[in-house]
Chain A
Amino acid sequence: MLYQSYCAPDTIEEALTHLNRTDGARVRPIAGGTDLMVQLRERLVQTDMLVDVSSIPDLKRIWLDGHRLHLGAAATYTQLIESELVHQHAYLLAEAGRLIGGKQIQHMGTIGGNLANASPAGDTLPCLYALDADITIASLEGDRHVAMSEFMRGPRKTALRPHELITQISFDVVPEHAGSAFTKMGLRHSQAISVVDVAAVVGVLDGRIASVRVALGSVAPTIVRSPSVEQMLLRQAPSDDLLDRAAEATRHDIEPITDIRGSAAYRLYVAKPFVRQALDRALERASVSRAS
């Protein structure tokens, strides 16, 4: 038996009530289950009750409110891939979704689950750093907001407290003059856990880089922004030489480890071309969106 009991509420309030059981039972929210079911089976996680939030309608919505895009925490990767709003306003998330697992994992896995699982190799997480996302966390006491950069505290460690539920991810849309990109180095194309992944959002005004956020995954205990890259690019006119030097500067901001997917030295080596590729693609998309 992986868990003792199960419920599938259809409102956030009802889910929170279950998560606040006071009888000492261990309770866990479950969304897609693509990580949690494996952890339960391997006894890495033990729980008495699963609260299935994957079919709560309020958690599955994706909507635009002015210049803010909101993603319900139980939105699946397939939803990200297919959403017109995501394509238009945060293309890198659709790009990341397509590179996660295979179709079945994309149908099941959710962005909130990716956050709660807090793997340094979680592919949507660098995107949320590059988008400077805000995480809405609900509890019976009300909602609180945590910046993405504060949410992840270490491998599998988050700002989430027991009895709380991630309900929403929100961020400013990628502006007209900017482009976004996600690139990933895996050991194969599909079903691969990242060796290095990179998210970039770059804005260009009057031929100069007006805004830039670059984040990398799988190269440190948490996702990291790369201030060295960002500072080198800001207010400069993008050139082949500049982009190359900026990508090279990534190494100052990452501290990869050696594991079964790659050595620390290898990760340092491949981070550069993947940062370069992400910058190139984001810049290309910035110019396309300006031209259209």
Chain B
Amino acid sequence: MAKTTETIGEHHVRIELKLNGKPVSHVVNGGRRLIDFLRDDLHLYGTKEGCGEGECGSCTVFLNGTATLACLTPMERASGGEVQTIEGIGTAENLDPLQWAMMEEAGVQCGICTPGMIMAGLDLLKHNPHPTRDEIIQGIAGNLCRCTGYQKIITAIQRAAETRT
């Protein structure tokens, strides 16, 4: 299906997508990045913008099931598709095993990289449910933690892999 983003007025577009499992439809300013749509229009502040140029991975979301950098994605690309952000992972009462493991292993310091790390970790576990430590390092190679808390993040992903089975 060719995507002709409906243009409304001079600069507005309608973005319709399934967001964290629920259909949403918004008329917003077009010509921006997916992260702008998520944060500025939908006020979903879980997805962080670190570098804005694809170096740090903190804006990682799932677009149609693929770990994607929201800072490098035209927002219209998500229209008609499915987006999952950190807000769609677990609930306060029922955390995803990886969220729980990040807490238990103290894989969180300042917290800015955490949503992206969790999305990258989940992407890895989806393709490789029992990764080695080296494979985990490869899996989160696109994510920077400026607190340098990598060891605990790696351990948390390892622990999540054990508890998810």
Asked if B141 lies at the interface with its beta carbon under 8 angstroms from chain A, I say: yes
CA distance A8 to B5 in the complex (A): 8
Q: Are A6 and B5 in contact (CB under 8 A)?
A: yes
Q: Is the CB of B66 within 8 A of A6?
A: no
Contact among A2, A37, A50, A191 with B141 in the assembled complex (CB-CB below 8 Å)? A191
Q: B77, A5: Cβ atoms under 8 Å?
A: no
Q: How many A-B residue pairs have CB under 8 A?
A: 110
CB distance from B158 to the nearest CB of A (A): 17
Asked whether B52 lies within 8 Å of A41 as measured between CB atoms, the reply is yes
Within the complex, which residue of B4, B55, B69 is in contact with A108, where a contact is CB–CB below 8 Å?
Answer: B69
Q: What interface size band does chain B fall in?
A: 35 or more
Q: Shortest beta-carbon distance, B82 to chain A, in Å? A: 14
Partner of B72, one of A6, A8, A10, A33: A33
Given contacts A5-B30, A6-B30, contact A104 B69 (CB under 8 A): yes
Q: Does residue A237 face the partner (Cβ distance < 8 Å to B)?
A: no
Assess the A104–B120 pair: CB atoms within 8 A.
yes
Q: Indicate if B46 sits at the interface (CB-CB under 8 A).
A: no
CA distance in complex: A2, B77 (Å): 14
Contacting residues of chain B (30-77) with chain A, CB-CB under 8 angstroms: 30-33, 52-55, 57, 60, 66-69, 71-74, 76-77
Enumerate chain A interface residues (CB-CB to B < 8 A).
Answer: 1-11, 14, 30, 32-34, 37-38, 41, 50, 52, 54-55, 101-105, 107-108, 189-191
- Since A2-B74, A38-B72, A104-B69 are in contact, a sample of 17 more A-B pairs with Cβ atoms closer than 8 Å, ordered by chain A residue number, is A1-B31, A2-B31, A2-B32, A6-B74, A7-B3, A8-B3, A9-B2, A10-B3, A11-B2, A14-B2, A32-B72, A34-B69, A37-B54, A41-B33, A52-B74, A104-B142, A191-B144
